[in-house]
Structure 1
Amino acid sequence: MDTYAALNDVLVNLFRDIMELEEQAIITQEYQDITNNDMHVIEAIGVGEPKNMSTIAKLLSVTVGTLTIAMNSLVKKGYVIRERGKEDRRVVYISLSEKGLRAYRHHEEFHRQMIEAVLENLTEDETESLVKALAKLERWFRRTEEN
């Protein structure tokens, strides 16, 4: 198999496998009422200061309209809290509820285990090369996304 075909197979399979594994690991009995996409919205909201809808939409590369649909569902299910700005009542700030924080930590633990498994058998040089290669790939995706 040539390099092109090998890389194509690895990238396509890796993307699919990560999505499937993540769904199996994340959507447990406790979180069966949300989807993988919901979990990524929860991740984008994060645990720091509340964020406005535009900021979250930009992090997820979706429109505010698309995000609103997901947000309505997450609010209804008790994962997310919406609050109007104190200084500007037109601005809506989003933060995680206690339930949302538990889901966030659950998702974070999956990622920690995934990274530990990836790094487990790599040398320091291999790890450095992997990080550099993936960073270049990410930059290419971001440039493509912007066009």
Structure 2
Amino acid sequence: MATEDLIVKAINILSDEMRLCMRKHKEQVPDGKELFNLSITQLHYLHAIKKCITPTITELAEIFGVQKSTVTVAVNKLLQRGFLEKTASQSDLRVVHVSLSEKGKRLIEIEDQGYYQFAGQVIQSLTEVEKTQFVKLLHKITQ
């Protein structure tokens, strides 16, 4: 089997296992079921907003490579569900910034906990030497 085939197979297995781990985590955590009612795109928006802290609609459109109208629709849905808050810019009242609400922050926190739980499962099967090698390889791959 070619190296690429082995890598693709491993990625698929890890992806399936991560989804399963996340599903179990979401079912166990209070408010975790709220994550089931979000699309992957909505989760991407929440993560981007967390990373950028208080982006504008224009900044989000640039990040995702979509029209501002597409971002506006997505943001409005997340606002309606209480995951985001809007704030007018102090320097230009025509500009609106979005940020995670407390509910949005909690949701991302729940998801992050699930990722840490999955990472714990992955490294549980490795020796200390393998963990060190694995971390070095992941760092190299992601750079």
Taking structure 2 as the reference length, the TM-score comes to 0.72
CA distance in 2, matches of 1:97, 1:78: 7
SS at match of 2:12: helix
SS at match of 2:37: coil
CA distance in 2, matches of 1:93, 1:50: 5
- CA shift in 2, pair 1:54/1:138, >3 Å: farther
Percent sequence identity over matched residues?
25
Q: Which sections of structure 2, spanning at least 5 residues, go unmatched? A: none
Taking structure 1 as the reference length, the TM-score comes to 0.71
Question: Over aligned residues, Cα RMSD in angstroms?
Answer: 2.9
- Structure 1 equivalent of residue 3 of structure 2: 3
1:23 offset after TM fit, Å?
5.2
Contact 2:82 2:103 in 1 (8 A): yes
- Structure 1 equivalent of residue 85 of structure 2: 81
Residues 78-111 of structure 1: CA deviation (Å, up to 9, x unaligned)? 1101111011223221111122122121112111
- Structure number with higher relative contact order (C-alpha < 8 Å, ≥ 6 residues apart): 2
Contact 1:81 1:95 in 2 (8 A): yes
- Structure 1 equivalent of residue 112 of structure 2: 108
- CA shift in 2, pair 1:88/1:26, >3 Å: farther
Q: Which sections of structure 1, spanning at least 5 residues, go unmatched? A: 140-147
- CA shift in 2, pair 1:89/1:74, >3 Å: same
- Structure 2 equivalent of residue 131 of structure 1: 135
1:128 offset after TM fit, Å?
2.7
